[in-house]
Amino acid sequence: MCSGVYERRAQYYETDQMGVVHHSNYIRWFEEARVDFLNRIGAGYRKMEAAGIVSPVVSVACKYRSMVRFDDEVEIRLKITAYNGVKLSLSYEVRDKKDGTVRCIGESSHCFLGPEGKPVSLKKDYPHYHELFMNCMQEEQ
């Protein structure tokens, strides 16, 4: 449930004048993979927002290893690297689907806010979601 790969094909509009995917698009791809992951584990943005929880990005980073070009297919592997009930950190690895070459790696950190925009503890206030994230952490080990 917690593992898996998000697959994507690079689109023409995502490329720059050099014919490679523009660096800003990798951050969007991380978000696509994250949305897919959260939906798969039962903690999708739509569900959490309906429950009164938002999860903004606190930080995001990306290190580029090699280029992705138009029509290349990539696999994005995502995993939880840290979770404490209030913050969630994820890592991303973008690989060429054909040969497995690492194209980039990245990470993002998120917090959880309640309806008033103040930090909330999923462990205390939303135990169902806390359990979903904890199960994924245990599955990764």
Report, as residue numbers or ranges, the catalytic residues: 16
* CB-based contact 101:66 (threshold 8 Å): yes
DSSP calls for 42-82: T--HHHHHHTT-B--EEEEEEEE-S--BTT-EEEEEEEEEE
Under DSSP, is residue 32 helix (H, G, I), strand (E, B) or coil? helix
Sequence-ordered alpha helix ranges (H) in the chain: 24-41, 45-50, 122-125, 127-140
